[in-house]
Chains A and B, each alone.
Chain A
């Protein structure tokens, strides 16, 4: 039984219903996500690994360059950059592709009835699969520069789970708003690119915190205002065998809750408009 109309379209019930029906269609988005990956393997031996390779090449080149510039040992700078790149590829992918998640599926949305969340699940699943490909970089790096992993490194699993949960709300929120305001996708792209430089990926945040120069120490504190720093640290620290820092987790949890609340409000009010706007 499906009841739809203007009075009932804007309801929490239908917003949650969309998400739960989307989740139940795992077979569908699971298949579509795989298809997206297989697409890249078609007629190509390495397929999506090409993205991994080009990322690794950039990261290694930057790693060598910045190790020289900052005077850091390569075995410290390179793993830091490589892990940062792998995690950032996921974050950036979720956000930039999130902004076009409904626009690029306009055909499907207008021709086959399905919960809007199906397209978001498919996107996140595809990004998770890309992430899995990119982990090859970490494995190779680990073989060359072993990291002091411990029990605390297991924290990477809840950290990645939180990152996925955040990718989900970001894609839902930006996806819906971008469908209405088409200026948003290019703006999103620029902001993501900018954030790449503002986030400690190629530069090591702790080095600035511990700088001999008092002015730099002061300025380094501003990096804490960048939410991406906290997401990155929750995953990077365990992968590099560094200590647990509570504040990163607190920030990530707070953002998860606020973000989902926002996304749910947008889902409640505009979910039914997506098929009109695409």
Chain B
């Protein structure tokens, strides 16, 4: 069973190189999380505060919010990269994240090798990935480019590769961050079919993006993050509307 259960989870980043004295008082900026100082006077950025979240099979959730609102941090919390500094995050199911597309790909080695490494990171074996290579090659439409070093790829081609890998391994929880908007419309339609099929079959999807178009394409519910807290949660359109109409918003 696929599920995400987050209970009053917070993520505090210690910033060791900031001068803690000058920032001793809690500062509240317009952009970014809340900045405070903990007991040992290390400056901390409260990237996420008191997050409660329940997601189950079939959920297709959009994460919206201004820069630094905590979207990427929340995705990393859900993927298990960050363990909450307080509260709990229980994630049941096989997680496949697609975050920064440049990372985790060696620019000097071929697309095929990168497919293998990505797959191994996501818990696949050599044999399992070997079986999927043809499928990925077909889906990504990269053809002979797969034998070329990744450094020759455009951003869109990298996105195709990353999406090809995560969608081929039958993940249960797909976590996608911005970036994936770099692909062209035709490929996006193709990806959409594959992603929604995946979600319907076994899993759930959380996508962070600033592109309404992309969000409407892939999601049906939304979470609005503001200063590391959940401001509003519900069906996509009303939340998107509220986000647009926020004070200081567009």
A-B interaction: yes
Residue B244 lies at the interface, judged by CB distance under 8 Å to chain A: no
Q: Give A7 to B215 CA distance when docked, in angstroms.
A: 35
Interface stretch, picked from B28-36, B119-127, B151-159, is B119-127
Residue A246 lies at the interface, judged by CB distance under 8 Å to chain B: no
Q: How large is the interface on B (under 10, 10 to 19, 20 to 34, 35 or more residues)?
A: 35 or more
Q: Knowing A272-B83, A276-B13 touch, does A111 contact B120 (C-beta < 8 A)?
A: no
Interchain CB contact (< 8 A) of A108 among B76, B103, B108, B125: B103
Q: Give A276 to B79 CA distance when docked, in angstroms.
A: 14
- CB atoms of B89 and A4 under 8 A apart: yes
Q: Give A35 to B125 CA distance when docked, in angstroms.
A: 16
Q: How many residues of A contact B (CB 8 A)?
A: 30
Residue A13 lies at the interface, judged by CB distance under 8 Å to chain B: no
- CB atoms of A1 and B95 under 8 A apart: no
Residue A71 lies at the interface, judged by CB distance under 8 Å to chain B: no
Dominant secondary structure at the B interface: mixed
- CB atoms of B116 and A4 under 8 A apart: no
Number of A-B contacts (CB under 8 A): 89
Residue B81 lies at the interface, judged by CB distance under 8 Å to chain A: yes
- CB atoms of B120 and A275 under 8 A apart: no
Q: Knowing A27-B120, A111-B97 touch, does A5 contact B83 (C-beta < 8 A)?
A: yes
Return B159 CB to nearest CB of chain A, in Å: 14
Interchain CB contact (< 8 A) of B121 among A5, A9, A28, A272: A28
- CB atoms of B81 and A2 under 8 A apart: no
Q: Give A3 to B125 CA distance when docked, in angstroms.
A: 25
Residue A151 lies at the interface, judged by CB distance under 8 Å to chain B: no
Q: Give A25 to B125 CA distance when docked, in angstroms.
A: 9
Q: Give A108 to B103 CA distance when docked, in angstroms.
A: 6
- CB atoms of B108 and A4 under 8 A apart: no
- CB atoms of A6 and B125 under 8 A apart: no
Nearest chain B residue, comparing its CB with the CB of A8: B88
Residues of B within 8 A of A1 (CB): 90, 92
The 8 A-B pairs of least Cβ separation, nearest first, read A5-B88, A28-B120, A107-B103, A272-B83, A4-B83, A111-B103, A113-B80, A6-B86
Could you write out 7 A-B pairs with CB less than 8 Å apart?
A: A1-B90, A5-B7, A25-B120, A32-B117, A111-B97, A113-B81, A276-B14
